Chains A and B, each alone.
Chain A
Amino acid sequence: MGKIQPKEVYEEGTDLLQNMHWLIGLRWLFVAAIIVTVLFCKYFLTLGAAYFQIGILTAVLLAYNISFAVGGRFFYRQPQLSSKQIDLVRGSLFTQITLDLIILTLMIHYTGGGENPLLFFYIFHVTIAGIMFPRRTAYLFSLLAVVLLGFLLGSEYFGVISHYHLKGFLPVELYREGTYILGLGVTLTLTLMTSVYLATTIMTRLHRRELELEQARQTLLEESRSCEISLAQLDRLHKEKSDFMRKVAHELRAPLAAIKSCLQVAREYYADELTGKPREMIERAERRSDGLMALVKDLLNLSQATEFSPATNFQPLQIDKLLSTVIEFCRPIAQEQGIQIVAQLETTVEVMADPQGLEEVFTNLLSNAIKYSPEKTEVTVSLKVDDERACIYFTDQGIGIDPEDMPLLFTEFFRAKNAKALHVEGTGLGLALSKRIVEAHGGEISVESTLGEGSSFKLQLPLKPA
């Protein structure tokens, strides 16, 4: 709540000034209406009235409206009102409505008193007060109106002041009819009080809504600010994470390379001394260090792909050629497992790409297809152009992907349950890395699969602009 106070003061100032502007504008209208009505009554209806006094009252009304209008200009120019200036404006509004009530009472007095329906204009004044001021002040104005009215009707009734009859308007004079005057007074008092009640109730509700809106706005602002901060923090964390990952990977690489080198030398150069169980144990250790090397390599690649900035390394690349190279590279492994690679690369397709990045992706997808396929099956690599995009499919007749695993398939370190169950080496980084590289090329990677029947990975890459 504390935070929105300054705004409220500012709005209060603006509100008050708007009200003053509106009130002064209304008064111009009234002055014009009075002049028109007087002329109409005097020359058209030829009513007999105290035109001189009415003229003076109109002049007074005009005079103070001019002075308030001129004085108001000073406040309109202020960019923001100080609390002292706000008090001044509020005081001026207070004075204006009081003067209006007095002028109205005098006007009624000189135009027939209780006999003139002009009496109902009091409703306008108290309604305006109800709109501009808090409930208590508004009731004070209605009380003032009632007092002025009572004083007028009472004084005329008791003959304290003279009664000005509107000749030609009413055939009889009513100011001495006690029941009529009393009835008029009571009705008008109730009407004025009700008007104030209604006006202030509406205003209170409106004000409450405004406050709620303002609070909601502030809350939204604060939330969006904190969202921005969290986003920046996330960004930083992400960068730190990939920096850390890269450092760790580099640090891991050197000792791993040493382990692997030593194991290999032990196995190859001491074959005579190394037989039976010791040899098997060395081979196990070597296999595990190979797996670890692959993981570290993927980690390094992944952290690099995170900062992979497109276009820096991009060059025109013939996809069908690169695919052939990758297929030839993978063919020996496939043959070892009794798997046949079918290549459907009839079209020549050029894209803008980082050759190393795409080679990594193709190798990943093809070796996955081989890894997770049973013997005597086929792996198909096909290339098509569809809707300005190069579409590359890697289709296998392998173990397939459980629909449950689909949402996590491209996340780091994820490995499907059936993939782990196969006891094939895998780091769980290949697909995450591929996705990043493909997306950095403005492409997409997607997969369709039936568990137990096979999978088809689809890559889409934008063609090289002609």
Chain B
Amino acid sequence: MAQAAYILIVEDDADILEAMRIILEDGGYEVAWAMDSGEARQLMKRRRPDLMILDVMMRSPDEGFQFAYQLKNDPQYENIPILIVTSIAQKTGFSFSPETDGDFLPVEGFIEKPVNPQQLLNNIKQLLSKANN
């Protein structure tokens, strides 16, 4: 990789955001962050991210999902891998697993809060290498 991958974090919890920023920057990535989907769009126009990390519950309980749907239906952005970060595990009524749900949100990965640094880095590494192939 000639240049460090550029990752956009969309997360409204400033503390989680800060923790993730430290983990990712330490992992050698270039990181930008937005507190909501509107702000994220502005940043994406300026520079296309190589990967996005989305929080599910922001201003509305499913803003992250909505945003992911929009991106996946936008030819300009559909190829950007998305990693969803959520503090609600199973049994919320949302679809979380590609194996159990056919009508599955086509994002590339899920990770549960609190964020485990190693797990986060592993996930990102995997998604980026898949996207580059």
Contacts and interface: CB of A to CB of B under 8 A. Distances in A.
B116 A264 contact: yes
Contacts of A257: 16, 87, 113-115
Interface residues of A, number: 18
Interface string B11-23: 0010110111011
B117 A265 contact: yes
A265 B26 CA distance: 10
B90 interface: yes
Interface size class of B (residues with CB under 8 A): 20 to 34
Residue among A250, A256, A261, A297 facing the most chain B CB atoms (10 A cut-off): A261
B91 A265 contact: no
Main secondary structure of the interface of B (DSSP, over half): loop
A258 B22 contact: no
A304 B113 CA distance: 20
A268 B19 CA distance: 11
A283 to B, nearest CB: 15
Nearest to B12: A254
A356 interface: yes
Contacts of A250: 88
A254 B20 CA distance: 15
Interface in A205-240: none
Interface string B55-67: 0010000000000
A451 interface: no
Contacts of A261: 15-16, 19-20, 113-115
Main secondary structure of the interface of A (DSSP, over half): helix
Interface in B10-62: 13, 15-16, 18-20, 22-23, 26, 57
A174 interface: no
A312 to B, nearest CB: 12
Contacts of A259: 15, 114
B91 A264 contact: no
Nearest to B92: A250
B117 A258 contact: no
Interface string A240-264: 0000000000100110111111101
Contacts of B89: 297
Contacts of A416: none
A74 interface: no
A258 B19 contact: yes
B13 A356 contact: no
Interface in A256-288: 256-262, 264-265, 268-269
23 contacts: A250-B88, A254-B87, A256-B114, A257-B87, A257-B115, A258-B13, A258-B15, A258-B19, A258-B114, A260-B114, A261-B15, A261-B16, A261-B20, A264-B114, A265-B19, A265-B22, A265-B23, A268-B117, A269-B23, A269-B26, A269-B117, A293-B114, A304-B91
Given A254-B113, A262-B18, A264-B114, 14 more contacts: A250-B88, A253-B88, A253-B113, A254-B13, A254-B87, A257-B16, A257-B87, A258-B15, A259-B114, A261-B113, A264-B19, A264-B117, A304-B91, A356-B91
